[in-house]
Structure 1
Amino acid sequence: MSDFMSSFDPTAVDTTDERGSGDFSPLPNGDYLVQIIEAEMKDTSTGGEMLRMTLEVLDGPQPGRRVWENLNVVNKNPDTEKYARRDLATIMAAIGQGPTNDLTLLCGRPFKVTLKTNPGREYNGKTYDPSNGVKRYHGKAGAPASKTPAAAPTPRPAAPAATARAWANKAPAARSLANGDQPPF
């Protein structure tokens, strides 16, 4: 193991950031081409499960910007769960992905979203600045994704999005989990 840190002098390094202004104000509302760069299932504080995603903007005024989204796919509120599962099924249809337990298959595959600006707010004694959120997920051409997914790139065969939707719309007790801890998509 290297002893790099014992000889590292941070005062000898130019810390000027040449990558840009560091402007984190929200992007203008509108349609953007994005890709998921991180996806993981997390437990929620209320006993549910959410798909936590990091989206990278690929076009527009500031390509490379990131937007964070959580889809509450298991939730006590049936409407919240229904909308999250619909959004996930739309994403999967837009990228031509059928049911899978491998969340990495959602990453690196472009699709369109409509971004909105969430107002700043105070929550649990903390103040949050305005931020972007996804208003709508679209198919590849910018239209809402159809119930049948686009053809998947080889070698990933596309399964009907209806399969993911059918599983998502079942009552929690009737869902069959392939590996016991993640939904089969």
Structure 2
Amino acid sequence: MNFPKRENFQTSEKSLIIVGSKNPVKVACTESAFTEAFHKGFVVNGITAASQVSDQPKGDEETYLGARNRVINAKKSFPEADYWVGIEGGVGEDVRGMYAFAWIYIENKSGLQGKAKTGTFYLPKAIADLIHSGMELGAADDQFFAQENSKQCGGSVGILTHGAITRQTYYNQAIILALIPFLNEELF
């Protein structure tokens, strides 16, 4: 199979990407993932876009819906963009314990959609207990690990991997996976 040449993705004008969050980690990872995937520069801005789900989404459906709603609301606020990106972190539970993950949802101005989910990782019982008590994961991390605003830095994954994987690198791969339809429009 012949893959498109990298230079086919390059153009001189910069596309505008709106991220449905002002979180600097989400904005930065969106810019790096798009640049890595398309091999060109972008203008990336974060705006406040409601997820319309719980502050701490639980399960795949609620977390996915939060990412999608961020795109829908970002589109309403900023319709002139070329792409809109929603990133929503969530938690789930199974017999092995509570785990964290995030959904990525991307849409472009022609209506093409891409979606992907990060890998999952299990949370310590003490963090899960704080979430069960009603805390959001970021707040639970801050309290338990004596951090401040960790979700705008390395996040839970950064804390637990001692920086080997940051929140930005964790999201980066999933954003690139969500870009597959845009890199292969003829297939989607």
More strand by share: 1
TM-score using structure 1 length = 0.26
More helix by share: 2
TM-score using structure 2 length = 0.26
